[in-house]
Amino acid sequence: MASLLLRKTLCLNQMRTLHRSAVACSVLNSYNIQSQSRRDFDKVLPEVIDTLLASPKLTKQLPEVRSWVEKLVNYTMDGGKHGKGMTVPFAYQKLEDPKYFSEEKLHSAQFFGWCLEMSLGCLTAMDDIIDSSKTRRGQTCWYLRPEVGTSAINDCFLVHHCFMEAVEMKFGNDPIYPDLAKLINEALLYTSIGQNLEYLLKYSKERNNLDKFTMESIEAIAIHKTFHFSLRYPLLAALLLVKNGKEIDTTELMSIGLELSKILQFQNDHKDIYWNQASSGKVGGEDIQGGKCTWFAVTALQRCNEAQRAIFKEYYGSKDPEHVKRIKQLYDELEIDKVYEKFRNSTYENLEHRIRKLPRKGETELFLEIMEAMRMQIF
């Protein structure tokens, strides 16, 4: 009997492995840089930049300004996975009824996906300044370039307005433009609130504010900083292109997206601690140095004894490399990485059950592949 149960368990495990491999292949076909859809997406970027640079507001200015804008936009969008931008055309493909599918609308989705990436470039450039980051996507942060410096603050606004200009030039006469503009404003507002919340919750010995390090706080950060921009924004933008897309009930889609966004935020926190610079393109430990309220910090505090909590209070939020190293050692002592892996896997498993119950095949395929892309760190 025991032998029979063992064979059955092994068989089920093999089936799960085969299923995940199949989904992973599907994800790679959708997101991998070698895939046709990724190549098609990349082909649209020059059009987006050309559309922007053709704006009378830029062509009438000094050539130096136009040249600077081109350099700035290319630099802030260079590298990265571009998963969020690709979600727009991917979601349009999955959510549109095949009889209404339009290559023209798919192209519009690709165009807007790059506009979304441009707005992400603005946000990350500002985030780097706030966090005093040194690298982004394997290159020196924009504000640290010798020819940039403090003018990076104006450049962040410049990227934002360039993004809005490109959207208006492409969609200004389209019936979806008012809804699109409203969606953009909502996404950027919520993201800015999330960034502000993250800043206000930072720990320092002077503030002595560890009482603010709660699960409720980190979920609020994830919802505002990650959900609205990374998932709600691209999905609702795609639905504006889908035939009768505004009539689709998105309640469960947004609920699932909300849970995925939490995992996405926590994975970014994990990357800062446990990934090396070659893998992530950033110097690790910046969240510790910045005293950020993260899932790892909150979970560690929940598991600390009195002596360990004293160590946390003394060294967390310090830029001294030895202090950062001591906090990482504390995480190891508390086995936070193992706790995280168990939590993450359990959350993914629960979400997969919910996703498979979605009423439309396209919705299920869309979210399964987004989730698997997140697992593979390519979203």
- Give the domain ranges of the chain: 38-375
Helices (H), the chain: 2-31, 36-53, 56-59, 63-77, 83-95, 103-131, 152-171, 177-200, 215-222, 233-241, 251-274, 277-280, 286-289, 295-303, 306-315, 321-333, 336-356, 361-375
Cα gap 61→123, rounded to integer Å: 25
Q: Which two tokens stand for residue 128?
A: 């780097």
Collect contacts of 332-337 with beta carbons under 8 A, ≥24 apart: 333/308, 334/300, 334/303, 334/304, 334/308, 336/296, 336/299, 336/300, 336/303, 337/270, 337/274
User: What is the distance between the alpha carbons of residues 141 and 121, in angstroms, rounded to a whole number?
Assistant: 11
204, two tokens: 């320092």
Higher-confidence residue of 283 and 52: namely: 52
Q: What is the pLDDT of residue 221?
A: 95
Q: pLDDT tens for residues 116-154?
A: 999 988 888 898 888 888 888 878 999 999 999 999 999
The whole-number average pLDDT for the span 68-76 is 88
17 or 41: whose pLDDT is higher? 41
C-alpha span between 117 and 110 (Å, rounded): 11
What is the C-alpha separation between 118 and 124, in angstroms, rounded? 10
Rounded to whole angstroms, the Cα distance separating 374 from 357 reads 20
pLDDT of residue 359: 93
Residues of the chain with pLDDT > 70, as a percent, come to 88
Find the radius of gyration of the CA atoms of the chain.
22
**Would you place residue 35 in the very low, low, confident or very high pLDDT band (cuts 50, 70, 90)?**
low
Query: Domain spanning 38-375 has what CATH number?
Result: 1.10.600.10
Task: Say what the pLDDT of residue 181 is.
Answer: 95
Whole-angstrom distance, CA of residue 326 vs CA of residue 185: 41
pLDDT tens-digit map of 241-300? 999 999 999 999 999 999 999 999 999 899 888 875 444 445 568 899 999 999 999 999
Nearest to 236 by CA among 161, 170, 160, 184: 184
Q: Which of 130, 49, 145 is nearest to 292 (CA)?
A: 130
Q: Which helix (H) or strand (E) holds 140?
A: strand 139-140
Cα atoms in the 13 Å half-sphere on the side-chain side of 139 = 12
pLDDT tens figures, 207-253: 999 999 999 999 999 999 999 999 999 999 999 999 999 999 999 99
Average pLDDT of 179-188?
Answer: 95
**Least confident range of 1-15, 69-83, 258-272:** 1-15
Instruction: Provide the pLDDT for residue 21.
Output: 40
What is the pTM (predicted TM-score) of this model?
Answer: 0.84
Q: Residue with structure tokens 């559309």?
A: 51
